[in-house]
Structure 1
Amino acid sequence: MCVDLGKKLAFAELVETALRPVLVSSSKKKLVMAELTVPWETRCKLAHERKRTKYAELADECGIKGWQAWIFPVEVGCQGFPSQSCWRMLGALGITGKSRKTTIKELGKEAERAFHWLWIHRGESS
């Protein structure tokens, strides 16, 4: 996986941990941990704290080894409401203005579409 966000950041490596894949820049000793959760809108804050706690130990270990680590637990409510964490993550990664607004809108649409699909197929056993 390679990421180049408007020529601002470039992560050329993907490291797999026991938790999730992590984006890494070895030359700059930086890593980004992002995990999406799609809870009910009323449970976004709880989901955020649970994911932050899950990655805290890994971030601490990275800091001890001289790496700069960011944890981005992000939530998009299952009915299409992107939480503040989505805005914060995109801004921190250098995605701002119209690009960020468009991305947030698309996140919401996709979550709503997936929720609708699940609702339609709720009676199926497979």
Structure 2
Amino acid sequence: MRPLEFPLLADENIHRDVVRALLARGKDVRSVLDEGMGGRDDVDVLRHAHRQGRVVLTHDGDFGTLAYHGGEPFLGIIHLKPGHISPTFVLEMIAAIEASAGDVAPPFVLVAERKDALVRIRVRCAPTAR
């Protein structure tokens, strides 16, 4: 399955216009704010996403640390770098992921880093024994 085909949970740092655009494209996406979790710790968000069978969409690198080094269970994390940029910039990064990322198996972390017009995508699969 491709990374953006999974149900998504958008962290509160993902602009609402990005969430709306993903919904308009038919994506199964909920935001942390939709879930009544605004201001909650990242570990709570990661656990909630896991319980709901959702991949976390975020600008925050702490999720990968929690998953790999903290041992938190997770389905997937899509980390968009840099963060807090215009929705158009972020949607262009998402389009690059859709165009070039292949199938992934959970648990996985995908990091998409954009510099100018170039988007570098790295995927790391986590060990399944948790």
Structure (1/2) with the larger helix percentage: 1
TM-score normalised to structure 2 length: 0.31
